[in-house]
Amino acid sequence: MSQQHSTAPAPTPTTDAALATVDRRRDWWRDAVIYQVYPRSFADSNGDGMGDLEGIRSRLPYLRDLGVDAVWLSPFYASPQADAGYDVADYRAVDPMFGTLLDADALIRDAHELGLRIIVDLVPNHSSDQHEWFKRALAEGPGSPLRDRYHFRPGKGENGELPPNDWESIFGGPAWTRVTEPDGTPGEWYLHLFAPEQPDFNWEHPAVGDEFRSILRFWLDMGVDGFRIDVAHGMVKAEGLPDLGSHDELRLLGNDVTPFFDQDGVHDIYRQWRLILDEYSDALWPEGPSEEGRGRETGGRIFVAEAWTPTVERTANYVRPDELHQAFNFQYLGTHWDAAELREVIDRTLESMRPVGAPATWVLSNHDVTRHATRFANPPGLGTQIRLAGDRELGLRRARAATLLMLALPGSAYVYQGEELGLPDVVDLPDEVRQDPAYFRGAGQDGYRDGCRVPIPWTREGSSYGFGDGGSWLPQPEGWGELSVQAQTGVPGSTLELYRAALAVRRAHPDLGAGDAVEWLRAPEGVLAFRRGEFVCVANTTGEPVTVPAHGRVLIASGEVAVADGEARVPADTTVWWTTG
Ligand code: NOJ
């Protein structure tokens, strides 16, 4: 280990001082609703079947009207797309398939004009094998100084024919690939925790850290409001790259500390990054206060970690006061539609975030998992990669209820494009159109992430239902138009209008997302009830209607709630918000 990233346990947080300085107005992100745009599948402006930045820009008013605070964009950088853009060849360029840097600039400016923040994806664990450094490392052969910026090693075995250690790729198969040297002979191996086209950087090398600090500044200078950090738990590997000693790697991931994930050294990197971000955060937000106000006065910039750790407590390490701002709550995402399980994970989340002063985050869907409308349509225990339609009506009912529950919790919530339309996963994509690299490597993840990446429908009719003029890179199912923005707009009770109404309530009542606690109320088995100031949220996770005390006025509900004589009948799988104010 270099001095730069020691393996010494990270210091114990001293939160009191840091918490005393929390400025709730400046810290817009503490209760923000952040909408994930998957650029390939949001809107296609040039009819090539692939979404792009201009398409996103044209739809920003939709996002403003939806009522979200910020937009996180999955990668749009120059990339051969071996992993849908999570294989970056040039961190400072936009891939032509998505547009140009000027388009990115225009998108950021327009978003700010509309009062929307922009968070971009940063992929620091690995580059593309088409990154200039890696291409040169290969071309220059063994001994090239560029090889030190990645993990090149000689193989084991008599002729170096075996991988240097027993690590497996998250996408299946060995985590090492042997290169052919410039003279045509089989040579060294390089490490890739994901696809072979995604070689892992060696974060021990000072040039890697320098490069990423410079990349941060590049995008901050462009005006972005934050970064989502891909594989935020992966950059530092245990010294000597020791064998894992297990072939049960996928089970260990997220359940145990491994020599390649959640090593303490990553925290040193984040402390350095935080200093950079804080330099920018003191500046005024470029366009000044938006008409909506609500904490937009200063330019707080943020980091959100994609960190898979064994426990919520270890996740909290990433959001200590001098590190990152938020971390995705994957434990919540993986929770079944079950009151007891939900209550436990909510309590544990709030308890683990409180000592470090970071807001809890909540998420139900993203581009890597089966959409929650489909997860909840199936029996529990199938995981987050499901290729079964299940009971769609049930799934949608639960998904709407789950969303309303999520949006009543204190902290920040993430919404994945299309969930506001109640989209299910597309479970029957023919194999020949699938692009998820995990599918092609088999034996690793189930590799069915394409199902949640199908381009979203904007209109009832038309080529690709308004996604673009030229079809869509993954086929949309028949009838997709009935789920479109056009079909749901203004329709009382539609999922889109439910999201709009819930987000409008959050905007009108900033207290709803603020704070770090819920006050649980007594409730029948299978029902969650809690108070947040003047609000009460009741979520019925059972398959039967329940009768509960009325708590004032029904503000919004995911199903038809009947109130009479101080009591309310909440249908099966339904959430309701009350106000006593
Ligand atoms: C997490 C991203 O969300 C996923 O899509 C990607 O495949 C891996 N990281 C590797 O970058």
pLDDT tens digits, 488-523: 999 999 999 999 999 999 999 888 899 999 999 999
Under 8 Å between Cβ of 27 and 278: no
Domain boundary among 504, 526, 542: 504
**Helical pair 266-281 and 206-222, crossing angle rounded to 10 deg:** 30
Residue from 38, 79, 86, 227 whose mutation best tests the ligand 1 pocket (most atoms within 8 A of CB):
86
- Domain assignment of residue 568, yes or no: no
Residue 77: how many other CB atoms lie within 10 Å? 23
Ligand 1 is surrounded, with C-beta below 6 A, by 83, 86, 123, 194, 230-231, 306, 367-368
Look at residue 203 and tell me whether its pLDDT is greater than 60: yes
Is the domain of 288 the same as that of 319? yes
- Best residue among 72, 79, 83 to mutate for probing ligand 1's pocket (most ligand atoms within 8 Å of CB) is 83
Residues 6+ apart with CB under 8 A from 277: 216, 220, 226, 301, 302, 303
Residue 392's CATH number: 3.20.20.80
Centre of ligand 1 from the C-alpha of residue 238, in Å: 21
pLDDT at 179: 98
118/110 Cα distance (integer angstroms)? 10
Query: Does 139 lie in the same domain as 31?
Result: no
153 in the same domain as 112? no
- Per-residue confidence band for 252, with pLDDT thresholds at 50, 70 and 90: low
d(Cα 354, Cα 348) in Å, to the nearest integer? Answer: 10
- Structural domain includes residue 543: no
Catalytic amino acids?
A: 230, 279
Q: Return the minimum-mean-pLDDT range out of 249-258, 486-495, 531-540.
A: 249-258
Residue 446 pLDDT class (50, 70, 90 cuts)? low
- For ligand 1, the distance from its centroid to the CA atom of residue 116, given in whole angstroms, is 25
Residue 502: helix, strand or coil by DSSP?
helix
Check whether 15 has a pLDDT greater than 90.
no
Specify the ligand 1 atom closest to the Cα of 83: 7
Spacing, Cα 230 to ligand 1 middle (Å): 6
Higher pLDDT, 511 or 283: 511
136 shares a domain with 121: no
What is the C-alpha to C-alpha distance for residues 57 and 54, in angstroms, rounded to an integer? 5
SS (H, E, C) 319-341: HCCCCCCEECCHHHHCCCCCHHH
> Which residue among 170, 194, 363, 414 has the greatest number of ligand 1 atoms within 8 angstroms of its CB, and so is best to mutate?
194
- Collapsing DSSP to helix, strand or coil, 420 comes out as helix
Question: Average pLDDT of 382-396?
Answer: 94
C-alpha of residue 519 to centroid of ligand 1, in Å: 36
User: Percent of the chain scored above 70 by pLDDT?
Assistant: 90
Residue nearest to atom 3 of ligand 1 (CA): 368
Q: Do 103 and 152 sit in the same domain of this protein?
A: no
- Considering the domain boundaries, does residue 345 fall inside one? yes
Q: What is the CATH number of the domain that holds 181?
A: 3.90.400.10
Is residue 183 domain-shared with residue 298, that is, in the same domain?
A: no
Whether residue 567 is contained in a domain is answered as no
User: H or E stretch including 177?
Assistant: strand 176-180
Are 187 and 299 contained in the same domain? no
Q: In this structure, which residue's CA is closest to atom 4 in ligand 1?
A: 368
Q: Could you tell me if 164 and 304 lie in one domain?
A: no
Distance 349 CA to ligand 1 centre (A): 23
pTM tops 0.85? yes
Confidence of residue 435 (pLDDT cuts 50, 70, 90): very high
What atom of ligand 1 comes closest to residue 437's alpha carbon?
7
Q: What percent of the chain is predicted at pLDDT more than 90?
A: 82
Q: Which two tokens stand for residue 452?
A: 């949640």
Max CA separation in the chain (angstroms): 85
Query: What is the C-alpha to C-alpha distance for residues 342 and 333, in angstroms, rounded to an integer?
Result: 10
- Taking the centre of ligand 1 as the mean of its atom positions, its distance from the CA of residue 365, in whole angstroms, is 14
pLDDT tops 90 at residue 324: yes
Distance CA 36, CA 57 (A): 14
Tokens of 408: 């009543």
562: in domain: no
Q: Are residues 120 and 143 in the same domain?
A: no
Structure-model confidence comparison of residues 19 and 356, the more confident one: 356
Q: Which of 486, 504, 522 is the last residue of a domain?
A: 504
CA distance 442 to 404: 36
Q: What is the pLDDT of residue 441?
A: 75
Buried b (16+ CB within 10 A) or exposed e, 8-26: eebeebebeeeeeeeeeeb
Residue 421 contacts residue 456 (beta carbons within 8 Å): yes
Q: How confident is the model at residue 283 (pLDDT cuts 50, 70, 90)?
A: low
Query: Can you name the residues that pair with 78 across neighbouring β-strands?
Result: 90
Within this chain, do residues 87 and 160 fall inside the same structural domain, yes or no? no
Could you identify the atom of ligand 1 that is nearest to the CA of residue 87?
A: 11
Residues 160 and 152 sit within 8 Å (Cβ to Cβ): no
Tell me if residue 366 falls in helix, strand or coil. Answer: coil
Query: Which residues form the domain of 163?
Result: 132-191
384, HSE (Cβ side, Cα atoms, 13 Å): 18
Q: Is residue 564 part of a domain?
A: no
Cα angle 516-416-252, degrees, rounded to a multiple of 5:
75
Pair 276, 181 in one domain = no
Cα gap 458→23, rounded to integer Å: 38
Count structural domains, the chain: 2
In a domain, 114, yes or no: yes
The rounded distance, in Å, linking the Cα atoms of 446 and 424 is: 18
Q: Residues 180-204, buried b or exposed e (16+ Cβ, 10 A)?
A: eeeeeeebbbbbbbbbbbbbbbbbb
Residue 254: the pLDDT is 65
CA-nearest residue, atom 2 of ligand 1:
230
Query: Counting Cβ atoms within 10 Å, is residue 248 exposed (0-12), middle (13-18) or buried (19+)?
Result: exposed
Does residue 455 form part of some domain?
Answer: yes
Q: Is the pLDDT reported for residue 2 higher than 70?
A: no
* Helix intervals (H) in 338-422: 339-353, 372-375, 392-406
Q: Whose CA is nearest to atom 10 of ligand 1?
A: 86
Domain-ending residue, one of 504, 526, 545: 504
Asked whether residue 249 falls in the same domain as residue 317, the answer is yes
